[in-house]
């Protein structure tokens, strides 16, 4: 007899771990992961899968069919390539785009109630303060990561067949420990009182939307729960509607650390690129986070209208970056070494 399951790709990743923890309370979970993890929860079976390999993905579904049958409640597709270290990489196509094609090709042989894909708000063209992005706003990715998500969204549209799909365009994810590369590096620069913490390439009044991990997991859980009520192709923005500007984060963090506001000077992009290039030359031990190619979209502004998620899922964020920053900074001050390690930062 078929046993209905939920498949989570990238199940041992940062979001995947929390999704499995949440959905595993009431569902049987099969996690697809590149390497078989040492530990899996009692409700989860881990299957080693290389999303870049036709044979590996096909073999994983042979296993699914033999052990669980042909009924799948939901596929939550989190596995993707992502790197701040380089603007271009063939892995964006090999893993994110082609990996999704491999999944959908195999899923045609199963009875699938839902396919959920985690995309990014960065597929949209940047906006300006006061002008919110909706799901119908222009699509204009500015580098390979969001471009790979745009291509993958098209793959899903073209190959889904009769499978209902949900695409979640998610803001930058953080949690109480931070675990956000842009936020943690901004905090580090201020904490270490680096010169570059006072400089910003562009408009300091611009910023990006973020969303707490708990709220992301809740959105995914609601999408699964309401899968039979949603349109066949659903696209939703998931993020906090208040966007803190770079300057607001700067002032908040500096106040929490030093009880005084650090102001930020806006510098021309050409000047920032030269600075980033020279830093890369002189940093022998650790490469700097900010690379010259990042400068062009350093001040891209993302401000979201998530009313569709509220209407269709009954979802709204229960956390905010503004109220979580004091928790992050409190933990940093309590144990800087531990905080740096959690966020994979190089010690000064």
Residue 207 Cα distances to 63, 305, 341, angstroms: 45, 15, 26
Residue 271's pLDDT is 46
Count of CB atoms situated within 10 Å of the CB of 321:
26
Length of the chain: 348
**All residues at 6 or more sequence positions from 67 whose CB lies less than 8 Å from its CB, including other chains:** none
Residue 284's pLDDT is 46
Residue 87's pLDDT is 64
Q: Which of 134, 127, 122 is nearest to 80 (CA)?
A: 122
Residue 203's pLDDT is 83
Prediction pTM value: 0.91
- pLDDT, averaged in runs of 10, over the chain (348 residues): 83 93 92 70 80 96 94 97 76 95 97 98 97 98 94 98 98 97 93 77 89 98 97 98 94 95 71 54 55 66 97 98 98 97 86
Please give the Cα distance from 84 to 184 (Å, whole number). Answer: 13
Residue 294's pLDDT is 59
């Amino acid at each position: 007899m078929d046993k209905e399951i939920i498949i989570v790709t990238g199940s041992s990743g940062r979001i995947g771990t929390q999704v499995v923890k949440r959905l595993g309370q009431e569902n049987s979970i099969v996690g697809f992961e590149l390497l078989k993890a040492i530990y899996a929860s009692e409700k989860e079976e881990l299957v080693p899968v290389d999303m870049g390999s036709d044979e590996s993905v096909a073999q994983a579904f042979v296993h699914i069919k033999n052990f669980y049958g042909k009924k799948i409640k939901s596929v939550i597709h989190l596995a993707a390539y992502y790197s701040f270290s380089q603007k271009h990489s063939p892995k964006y196509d090999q893993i994110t785009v082609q990996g999704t094609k491999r999944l959908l090709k195999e899923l045609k042989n199963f009875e699938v109630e839902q396919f959920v894909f985690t995309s990014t708000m960065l597929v949209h063209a940047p906006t300006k303060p006061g002008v919110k992005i909706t799901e119908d706003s222009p699509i204009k990715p500015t580098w390979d990561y969001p471009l790979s998500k745009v291509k993958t969204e098209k793959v899903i549209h073209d190959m889904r067949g009769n499978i209902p799909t949900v695409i979640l365009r998610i803001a930058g994810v953080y949690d109480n420990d931070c675990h956000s590369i842009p936020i943690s590096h901004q905090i580090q620069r201020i904490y270490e009182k680096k010169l570059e913490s006072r400089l910003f390439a562009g408009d300091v009044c611009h910023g990006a939307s973020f969303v707490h991990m708990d709220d992301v997991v809740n959105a995914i859980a609601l999408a699964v729960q309401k899968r039979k009520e949603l349109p066949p192709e659903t696209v939703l923005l998931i993020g906090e509607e208040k966007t803190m500007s770079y300057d607001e984060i700067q002032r908040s963090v500096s106040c929490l650390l030093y009880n005084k506001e650090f102001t930020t000077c806006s510098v021309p992009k050409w000047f920032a690129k030269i600075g980033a290039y020279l830093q890369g030359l002189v940093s022998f031990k650790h490469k700097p986070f900010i690379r010259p190619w990042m400068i062009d979209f350093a001040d891209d502004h993302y401000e979201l209208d998530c009313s569709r998620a509220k209407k269709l899922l009954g979802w709204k964020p229960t956390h905010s970056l503004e109220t979580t920053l004091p928790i992050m900074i409190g933990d940093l001050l309590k144990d800087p070494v531990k905080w740096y390690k959690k966020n994979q930062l190089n010690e000064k």
